[in-house]
Amino acid sequence: MGLRFSLLDRAFKRKLDERLREMELTSVQFGVLGQLARLEAAGEGEINQRALETASHVTHPTMTEILRRLEQKGFIVCRPSRADRRSKSIASTEKARCLHREVDRIDEEVYRWLCTGLSREQLEQLDEITGRMLQNTLELYRKGCEKHRD
């Protein structure tokens, strides 16, 4: 079963990586854009480099280079922070928001391709089963985090 999930994961990633290469983006750069989008959606005020480093588990020098390239490509805007002039405030551009909509479309396209030949009932079962598996994973993760706090 693990091999099946691994192969499905690779199929999704391969298709996504093809599209990202067309836009001259790496998966790491896309991951940082995803973290930025999540922080923005959560209503974070100013988002700085340190917040992205923490969320992405990336070192300061690496994040500096990623942000420099993303800004050059027009996916983000970096401005001096209003709260602390030593740091930058980072924001997504419309180009980044369009990219996320395109990735959502690609995700749906790949999903439909992978589900070719499944009935509506099977698709509903797949959704229910994978939803439960995700719930189990999140519960296990939370228990692990609680265990480490003790």
> Could you read off the pLDDT tens digit of each residue along the chain, which spans 150 residues?
889 999 989 988 888 888 888 888 988 898 899 999 989 998 878 899 988 998 888 899 999 999 999 999 999 999 988 888 788 899 999 999 998 888 888 888 888 988 999 999 999 999 999 999 999 988 887 887 666 555
For the chain, report the end-to-end CA distance as a whole number of angstroms.
33
Residue 6, CB-side half-sphere exposure with 13 Å CA sphere: 3
The residue ranges of every structural domain in the chain are 2-114, 120-150
Q: Give the CATH class of 2-114.
A: mainly alpha
pTM, full prediction:
0.72
